[in-house]
Amino acid sequence: MLSKNQARTFFVVGTVFFTGVFFYLSYDTVVNHVDKQTNSQNMSAEVVRGKRLFDENNCMGCHTIMGEGAYYAPELTKVYERRGPDWIDVFMDDPEAMFPGERKMVKYNFTKEEKADLIAFFKWVGEIDLNGFPPEPDKGAFASTVITTTGSAAVEEKPSKWSLCSACHSLGGSGGNVGPALDGVGNKFDADYLRKWISDPQSVKPGTAMPKLPLSDAEREEMVEFLSKLK
């Protein structure tokens, strides 16, 4: 049993000691870790403008980023790695058009420059070292080739908008796992079906989670030609 003086001494010494530990750890974090873990050298003017847009439009009212936010909409810390810049760009144009009847995200009518700034911000956030948070997206490693009936097709031969597909689908073990793998898709469906499917998934299969991708006629034909070769 401590006496009154001993208890007072114990309290004062403990308070001073742990206050010192707190200030030391805070100093060490700011001086030795913040710049390194946040890659502050990559904080460009575009990143700063993107952060300002993120705040001004109250994106955290629905989304979380680095664990902070509303938990109503998807977590965005690794969205650049998970979806890719092309997917983010077209999604922000009209969220509901890509997912009819499913997405409730506001259409903000961002300019091309504003979208680029937001994408730069998401890229920078995704590169911050958060000691393992959140878990890395299950994207797989991008293979250098895919096998078709005519042999190996190099990555450079993939359609120009392929990242819109790889955000959800895998090919040769590379890509997302939200939708079905596309290996052998040319054996399952002919070019006409693929064209209809890519043009308007809901008209082919009402209720499908597949979004309507905003592709030009040339980009759509390029995609159909590539997928038809995957046998």
Q: How many CB atoms lie within 10 A of CB 184?
A: 12
**Residue 144 scores a pLDDT above 80:** no
Residues 201 and 173 in one domain: yes
Average pLDDT over residues 85-96: 88
Average pLDDT over residues 12-24: 95
Q: Which of 39, 176, 175 is nearest to 120 (CA)?
A: 39
Question: What is the predicted pLDDT for the residue at 154?
Answer: 44
Question: What is the predicted pLDDT for the residue at 136?
Answer: 65
Q: Please say which residue of 98, 126, 154 terminates a domain.
A: 126
Q: Please say which residue of 95, 126, 157 terminates a domain.
A: 126
Instruction: Give 137's pLDDT tier (boundaries 50, 70, 90).
Output: low
Can you give the CATH number for the domain in which 107 is found?
Answer: 1.10.760.10
Can you give the CATH number for the domain in which 167 is found?
Answer: 2.60.40.420
Residue 181's domain comprises 145-228
Q: Is residue 32 part of a domain?
A: no
Residues 122 and 152 in one domain: no
Residues 159 and 121 in one domain: no
Residue 128 to residue 9: CA distance in whole angstroms:
43
Instruction: Give 138's pLDDT tier (boundaries 50, 70, 90).
Output: low
Domains identified in the chain, total number: 2
Residues 115 and 69 in one domain: yes
Q: Is residue 151 part of a domain?
A: yes
Q: Is residue 34 part of a domain?
A: no
Residues 50 and 78 in one domain: yes
Contact 171, 181 (CB under 8 A): yes
Q: How high does pLDDT run on average in the chain?
A: 85
Contacts for 96-104: CB closer than 8 Å, 24+ residues apart = 97/212, 97/214, 98/211, 98/212, 98/213, 98/214, 99/209, 99/211, 100/202, 100/212, 102/209
Residues 113 and 151 in one domain: no
Out of 107-121, 145-159, 162-176, the most confident range is 107-121
22 or 141: which leads in pLDDT? 22
Question: What is the predicted pLDDT for the residue at 176?
Answer: 80
Contact 125, 77 (CB under 8 A): yes
Instruction: Give 164's pLDDT tier (boundaries 50, 70, 90).
Output: confident
Average pLDDT over residues 184-210: 90
177 or 183: which leads in pLDDT? 183
pTM over 0.85: no
Q: Is residue 195 part of a domain?
A: yes
Question: What is the predicted pLDDT for the residue at 211?
Answer: 85
Residues 221 and 149 in one domain: yes
Average pLDDT over residues 121-145: 72
Instruction: Please state, for a pLDDT cut of 90, what percent of the chain lies above it.
Output: 47
68 or 131: which leads in pLDDT? 68
Per residue in 24-82, pLDDT (tens digit) is 999 888 888 778 888 888 899 999 999 999 999 999 999 999 989 998 888 999 999 88
Q: Is residue 149 part of a domain?
A: yes
Q: Is residue 104 part of a domain?
A: yes
Q: What is the CA radius of gyration of the chain?
A: 24
Question: What is the predicted pLDDT for the residue at 148?
Answer: 45
Q: Is residue 33 part of a domain?
A: no
Residues 221 and 159 in one domain: yes
Instruction: Give 145's pLDDT tier (boundaries 50, 70, 90).
Output: very low
Question: What is the predicted pLDDT for the residue at 103?
Answer: 65
Q: Is residue 181 part of a domain?
A: yes
Q: Please say which residue of 126, 153, 188 terminates a domain.
A: 126
